[in-house]
């Protein structure tokens, strides 16, 4: 299914589209269907957790991250 196949949705305003997306996510959540997580995603998460455990002080606080981003502008 593609957006172009649903002309009513294309014509919605941005706030209406956001509400529609929220309703779609809620319906997916309510279905309580197990969704398989791709092996690549699991591997990446395991790698990130291992890096964090071996270097826990390498993290930035949210505030420091924002400062770093702002300094690049």
pLDDT at 34: 82
Rg (CA), the chain: 20
pLDDT digit string (tens) for 39-72?
999 999 999 999 999 999 888 899 999 999 999 9
Q: How confident is the model at residue 19 (pLDDT cuts 50, 70, 90)?
A: very high
Could you tell me the pTM of the whole model?
Answer: 0.47
> Domain ranges in the chain?
39-71
**68: number of Cβ within 10 Å:** 10
């Amino acid at each position: 299914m593609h957006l172009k196949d649903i002309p009513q949705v294309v014509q919605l305003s941005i706030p209406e589209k956001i509400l529609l997306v929220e309703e779609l996510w809620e319906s997916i959540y309510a279905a309580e269907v197990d969704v398989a997580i791709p092996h690549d995603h699991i591997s990446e998460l395991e790698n990130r957790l291992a890096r964090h455990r071996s270097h826990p002080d390498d993290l930035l606080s949210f505030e420091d991250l924002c400062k770093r981003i702002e300094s690049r502008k």
